[in-house]
Amino acid sequence: MAGAEYAQLGPPNNTGTGTLCVSGDVRRPGYFEVEVGKVTMGEVINDLCGGLKPGRSLKAIIPGGSSARVLRADERFMLKDGRELGVMDIPMDFDTMAACGSMAGSGGVIIMDDSRSMSWVLNNLNAFYAHESCGQCTPCREGSLWMQKISDRIVAGNASPSDVDELERVANNIEGRTICAFGEACSWPTQSFVRK
């Protein structure tokens, strides 16, 4: 396929194909190459991945890698073009995903069913980012570890009433204050989980 022909795939501004790496609570996780914007989140879950695990209902989705903002299963999105979409109706393209408050990002789609503790999921993400910080920037080096310690307390049942607010404050103080984009990557999950 020539470049011009490839560029005709997908909707305007979102052309070509993309690879989705779907993991989590689906029957058939895996890698799927799709035409950008031609499949919805519901088609990814039900058609490509065989649906949710038996007896489960959808709780949330991280649509574009661990730093993408989480989407709750019950959310509805009113787009500027007048469309109203539920999570399962979102086309897997960059512009629509951004309009719904998240991002297509790396294509790492994480599906979570009603068996998942969202505080455990956030703690797992915070542990990953605390481990992966290079340590060069103080907000990221200290903040990612601080977020992990707070979410550790939440998961263990030892949190104080102010810990959730403190968790969001720390995330807000990392975002935009680091040399590279890792600061945003580690703050966005916490911000979205706390807000939702």
pLDDT higher than 80, residue 32: yes
* Position 133 confidence tier, pLDDT thresholds 50, 70, 90: very high
End-to-end CA distance of the chain: 43
Q: Compute the distance between CA of residue 188 and CA of residue 122 in angstroms, rounded to an integer.
A: 11
| Averaged pLDDT, 121-141 | 96
Residue reference for tokens 């999950």: 189
Closest CA to 107 of 170, 177, 34: 34
For 17, the 3-state DSSP assignment is: strand
* Position 1 confidence tier, pLDDT thresholds 50, 70, 90: low
* Position 94 confidence tier, pLDDT thresholds 50, 70, 90: very high
* Position 140 confidence tier, pLDDT thresholds 50, 70, 90: very high
The radius of gyration of the chain from alpha carbons, rounded to an integer in Å, stands at: 18
pLDDT higher than 90, residue 10: no
152's tokens: 């550790």
Alpha-helix runs per DSSP H in 65-107: 94-99
3-state helix, strand, coil in the chain (%, to 5): 40, 20, 40
For 138, the 3-state DSSP assignment is: helix
pLDDT higher than 70, residue 46: yes
Residue reference for tokens 């489960």: 56
pLDDT higher than 90, residue 101: yes
105 contacts 64 by C-beta, under 8 angstroms = yes
pLDDT higher than 90, residue 52: yes
86's tokens: 């539920």
* Position 78 confidence tier, pLDDT thresholds 50, 70, 90: very high
Single pTM value for the model? 0.92
